[in-house]
Amino acid sequence: MADYITIEWEDHDFEKTNLVTDSGGYDWYKCKKCGLVAWRHGLGPIKTWMSSNPTPCQKRVESGEIKKVKIIDHYPDSEFGLKYGEVYETCKCPESESHKYGNAVWVFSPKRNEPVRLLSREYTFV
Q: Is the pLDDT of residue 111 over 70?
A: yes
Chain mean pLDDT for the chain? 80
- pLDDT value for 27: 92
- pLDDT value for 28: 92
Q: Is the pLDDT of residue 1 over 50?
A: no
Exposure letters 47-80 (e unless 16+ CB within 10 A, then b): bbeeeeebbbbbbbbeeeebeebebeeeebbeeb
